[in-house]
Amino acid sequence: MLLGAIALYTLSNNERREILYNVDYSVLVFFAAMFVFTAALWISGLIPDIMSKIPNPIPDHNNIIGNNVIISIVSITFSQILSNVLFVALYNNVMISNGFDADDISEWMMLAAASTIAGNLTIIGAASNIIIIEAAESRGVKAFSYNEFLKIGFIVTVTNLAVYYFFITFLFGS
């Protein structure tokens, strides 16, 4: 991403100042702060401690159904607390330490699918939701309230989860 920004800046003619002026630095600070905060929670031991108290999936090709249920529930729940991108950055460590590897395709796909759709459940499920709502409000557009978003997000998330779970577990996982 940084290389793309450097290339754009270098190749632009007289618009360099305008490009730098139009960058939304608050978004960059927001993302950086999220990663620093989450890393601090991990280093403090809080997140590993919480993760040790919830069921963890265990690599077992005879238990894809159970693993995918656990991964789905944990992904959707913790994405509401940490945001989906940060959750995946941390949960990768949990899955790897539990022994998941490249052969456990179904479980990795379930993590990708469930954490992605977790961003549809609530406004805080994905940082992009917060950024979009903030941008809309800064331009005078009335954005969704948390409850309005949740009403639609719940239906979208549950429907998508059912489709993904069926496809990944029964069609792809077998």
Q: What is the pLDDT of residues 20-48, one digit of tens each?
A: 777 777 777 887 888 888 888 888 988 88
The pLDDT score that the predictor gives to residue 114 is 95
Instruction: Give the H/E segment covering residue 73.
Output: helix 64-82
The torsion angles phi and psi of 144, rounded to 5 degrees, stand at: -65, 145
| Dihedral sign (CA 71, 165, 132, 144) | negative
The pLDDT score that the predictor gives to residue 14 is 66
The pLDDT score that the predictor gives to residue 77 is 92
Tell me the DSSP string of 106-138: HHHHHHHHHHHHHTTTSGGGSHHHHHHHHHHHH
Report the predicted TM-score, pTM, of the whole model to 2 decimal places: 0.79
Length of the chain: 174
The pLDDT score that the predictor gives to residue 68 is 93
| 22, burial (CB in 10 Å: exposed 0-12, middle 13-18, buried 19+) | exposed
Query: Which residues 6+ apart lie within 8 Å of 137 measured at CB?
Result: 143
In a domain, 16, yes or no: no
pLDDT along the chain (174 residues), means of 10: 70 71 77 84 85 85 88 93 86 89 92 93 87 85 89 95 93 68
In a domain, 10, yes or no: no
> In total, how many domains does the chain have?
1
Range of the domain at 93: 24-172
